[in-house]
Amino acid sequence: DWTRPGFRAVAIHRFGVWRMGVRPKPLRVPFSLLYRLMFRRCRNGYGIELPYSVVLGRRVVIEHQGGIVIHGNSVIGDDCIIRQNCTLGIRRMDAPADAPILGSGVDVGAGAVILGAVRIGDRAAIGANAVVLADIPAGAVAVGIPAKIISTREIR
């Protein structure tokens, strides 16, 4: 549904990625100004911060608006779901480029925090309000602070 803030945030992200390919650079200027305006409106109005530098897979769903912050170096695989109040960010100030990598089909629960250069495997699920500080294997379900794996399921 194009009226949902999550859809709009992803659309603005994709526009930001597209405009970086406009050549020559002087032709990119009006698109960059438009992108900045839309990005700020999305960040300030919807509470979804999704910079164009994020590597975003296909069919990613941002389920609800509010409090979503995604580091610019993050990688989000195909078919992921991200819910409200989630953070994908750095863990330490001395490693500002370390950002999470989410595999395909990852389900991130409301309020989850994924910090540092961690990898979340394909089809893993991160529970609501979990704090992930270490890698999570494919098919695992992780919950708690800090997140612990409570079950695994077979990947098909």
Model pLDDT for residues 107-139, shown as the tens digit of each residue: 999 999 999 999 999 999 999 999 999 999 999
- Contact present, 49 and 65 (Cβ < 8 Å): no
Give SS3 for 42.
helix
Is the pLDDT assigned to residue 156 strictly greater than 80?
no
Strands (E), the chain: 48-49, 55-56, 61-62, 68-70, 75-76, 81-82, 87-89, 101-102, 107-108, 113-115, 119-120, 125-126, 131-132, 140-143, 148-152
pLDDT tens-digit readout, 78-92: 999 999 999 999 999
**pLDDT attached to residue 155:** 74
Q: How far is CA 134 from the centre of its chain?
A: 17
Q: What is the rounded average pLDDT for all residues in the chain?
A: 96
Give SS3 for 105.
coil
Q: Distance from first CA to last CA of the chain, Å, rounded?
A: 29
Q: Per CATH, is 5-152 categorized as 2.160.10.10?
A: yes
Is the pLDDT assigned to residue 151 strictly greater than 80?
yes
Q: How far apart are CA 133 and CA 114, in angstroms?
A: 6
Where are the domains positioned within the chain?
5-152
**pLDDT attached to residue 86:** 98
